[in-house]
Amino acid sequence: MRTVGSLVYQFFEHHLKAEKGLASTSIRSYRDGIRLFLLFLARENRTPISKLRLRTSAPTMCGHFSPILNPSAATASEHGTTG
Mean pLDDT of the chain: 73
Residue 83 in any domain: the answer is no
pLDDT at residue 51, rounded to an integer? 81
* Residues whose CB falls within 8 Å of the CB of residue 41, separated by 6 or more in sequence, listed in order: 4, 49, 52, 58, 61, 65
Residue 55 in any domain: the answer is yes
pTM of this prediction exceeds 0.75: no
Cα(27)–Cα(16) distance, integer angstroms: 7
pLDDT at residue 7, rounded to an integer? 78
53 lies in which domain range?
4-78
Q: What percent of the chain has pLDDT over 70?
A: 61
> Each residue of 48-73: pLDDT tens digit?
888 877 664 566 666 666 665 565 65
Tally the domains of the chain: 1
Kindly report the backbone phi and psi dihedral angles of residue 3, in degrees, each rounded to the nearest multiple of 5, phi listed first: -90, 160
Of 61, 31, 32, 24, whose CA–CA distance to 44 is shortest? Answer: 61
